[in-house]
Amino acid sequence: MTTRPTPLLFDLDSHPLFEPLLQRMPAEAGSLERRNFPDGETYLRVNSAVAGRDCVILGDLSHPDTRFLPLLFLASTLRELGASRVGLIAPYLCYMRQDIRFHEGEALTSAVFAKLLSAHVDWLITVDPHLHRYHALDEIYSIPGKVIQGAPVLSAWLGEQEGLLLVGPDAESEQWVAQIAAHSGHPFVVGNKQRFGDRDVHITLPDLSPWQDHEAIIIDDVISSGHTVLQCMQVLQQQGLQRISCACVHGIFVDGIDAQLIQQGLSRLVSTNTVPHATNALDVSPLLAMALQSFP
């Protein structure tokens, strides 16, 4: 039996998951040189011999409009240099929000992005993509894809603590928060959210008087603008809860919203290491490494 060469793992953006993944998966670090010319164009050079080897790219796709082209340059170069397969680990998968035309003429960016990415890599692994109207990645991606759930990481962390009330900010989070609550052993409530714009939301919560002695932990999959969490905090405070924390899988935290949340009274802000941030306290590398062992 012929033994396949050890895969090469390439890191595009000094991602915090790179070293943990190298330690957990059978792979060698790929050598890559990348910089920008004065006009902003990307210079990229692959220094590793890749011919006949599987290559895996670890790519941070938060803020994708500046990161997607370097990813395509790397994937295309690896193919041109003879890589047997080129796979992508995108811990956070962007462009999943626009999954329908709400107004005539809008770009269906999720489908366009999926088509572009599918043309350049052979497979995709990601963590908790925003599957709302889509039920699976293969509805828009033409390559094999695997979705890793971040809930077990959150459940394990929450299960080590006592006196918590888990709070889902809206109906979309109910099934997810209920699953985490069942595994961590904590009660939970779910709010009702009305959205009037990207940064304009209104949240209502049920009566919280039975849990006044609990620490409320807002649970969400993605925190981007953070206004949903901010509104949820205010409602919790209005109902008398003094200790409020927040945990999420993907912490984007645009416009310094993380600092604003702390200033408004948030006790703890915790995220997984899918998106590099100072709040990264929960490691998803064991789940990703397990997925890599069985896929593709």
> Which one is the CATH code of 8-148: 3.30.930.10, 3.40.50.300, 2.60.40.10, 3.40.50.2020?
3.40.50.2020
Q: Is 31 helix (H, G, I), strand (E, B) or coil?
A: coil
Residue type, 100: I
pLDDT of the residue at 5: 87
Q: Do domains 8-148 and 151-282 have the same CATH topology?
A: yes
Using the structure block, give the residue that is written with the tokens 């953006």. 13
Inter-helix orientation angle 151-159/174-184, to 10° = 40
What Å distances lie between residue 60 and 255, 260, 266, 283, CA to CA? 18, 24, 27, 15
What dotted CATH number matches 151-282?
3.40.50.2020
Q: pTM of the predicted model, to two decimals?
A: 0.93
Q: Could you state, in order of their start, the residue ranges of all structural domains in the chain?
A: 8-148, 151-282
Q: Residue 221's CB: how many other CB atoms inside 10 A?
A: 19
pLDDT of the residue at 296: 63
Q: What is the bridge-based pairing of β-strands 32-36 and 42-46?
A: antiparallel
pLDDT tens for 245-295 read: 999 999 999 999 999 999 999 999 999 999 999 999 999 999 999 998 876
Give the whole-angstrom CA distance, residue 232 versus residue 208: 13
Token digits for 10?
């390439």
Structural contact between residues 247 and 219, judged by C-beta atoms closer than 8 angstroms: yes
Q: Which residues of the chain have pLDDT under 50?
A: 1
What Å distances lie between residue 35 and 49, 75, 80, CA to CA? 20, 16, 20
